[in-house]
Amino acid sequence: MKMSFRWYGDTDPVKLEYIRQIPGIHSIVSAIYDVPVGEVWPIDKLQALKARIESVGLKFDVVESIPVHEDIKQGKPTRDRLIANFQQNIRNCAAVGVKVICYNFMPVFDWTRTSVGTVLPDGSTTLSFDASQVQEIDPEQGISLPGWDASYKPEELKKVLAEYKDIGEEQLWANLEYFLKKMIPVAEEAGVRMGMHPDDPPRPIFGLPRIVKNRDDLMRLVKMVDSPANGITLCSGSLGADLCNNIESLVHEFGGMGRIPFGHLRNVAVEEDGTFYESAHLSCEGSLDMAKILKAYHDVDFDGYVRPDHGRMIWGETGKPGYGLYDRALGVVYLNGLWEAITKFVPAEHA
């Protein structure tokens, strides 16, 4: 297991030199953030990012994420040009040594939360999702959610939501299949493994189709183009927000197939109605048993990449919610401790 850490470049409040000081860090997960969605990432920008990361003694093996343009998800005539750009981005990433590329196929919204500052009993703040609050939102009257107010102007958001009115789950699956059949052969040729991130949260919202939310969806995805290059970014927090998803079982099944090149390890405290908040990584803090999840990775001889995900904001730290240094660093130490103990004292049970 290779422990990594997400970093947003030199504009990130978290300094790369501080990440280097966390015990057990193997590599940095990053991306090019100043190129419009759908355009080609210049090779010189990727080379500069690689050089910056390597300057502190870490590796640049995982890209998260290359965004998929909405025209591809909607199957518009413009998609072929955009897919060609995505293919070139795969080639460019491979040229600088990237091994894994994370992406998602969520319509309009990436991860969705209703609050970025929920205060926990210990005084820390965290990201949360209130299912009842989301149900009360009328997309026709406008949507105001943390992070998305800056992503779309009201009229832009209304327009893109309207464009999805005639796109159900099966049409979105068809558009995904078209995309995968053009993308995966390029990934194979480049020696890159693709890892699709599941829907977050794993359920339909605002009338939009969501198609990567449970075991059956994941199996349909990997069978759609049956290749080791067509894999999953198995996010325990995203899938774990549905209590019907057994994360250990998913790791055993898809890890046993060799289809998990990248894992996000985080915990969530989930209620029956789907309301949840992102807790500390420890098993006793949330609804997921992180020790059992890591044991499942060990059982399938996992040698891919993982990272702690969406930590709380603790000790007065400010910055991008969920991406502070301190709680994610605690997560790394906890997860590495579990992994060392499992590796040394627990026999593997091959799936």
Cα diameter, the chain: 57
Is 93 an active-site residue? no
CA distance 132 to 287: 20
Is 235 an active-site residue? yes
Q: Which of 103, 323, 327, 334 is catalytic?
A: 323
Is 18 an active-site residue? no
CA distance 72 to 239: 24
Is 264 an active-site residue? yes
Q: Which of 264, 299, 305, 334 is catalytic?
A: 264
User: Is beta strand 262-265 parallel, antiparallel or unpaired with respect to 125-129?
Assistant: unpaired
CA distance 147 to 117: 12
Q: 186-221: buried (b, 16+ CB within 10 Å) or exposed (e) per residue?
A: bbbebebbbbbbbbbbbeebbebbbbbbbeebbeeb
Q: Which of 200, 309, 327, 334 is catalytic?
A: 309
Phi first, then psi: give them for residue 176, nearest 5 degrees.
-65, -45
Q: Which of 69, 197, 252, 298 is catalytic?
A: 197
Is 102 an active-site residue? no
Q: Which of 235, 277, 281, 327 is catalytic?
A: 235
Is 323 an active-site residue? yes
CA distance 292 to 349: 12
Q: Which of 102, 310, 327, 334 is catalytic?
A: 310
Give me the active site residues, please: 197, 235, 264, 309-310, 323
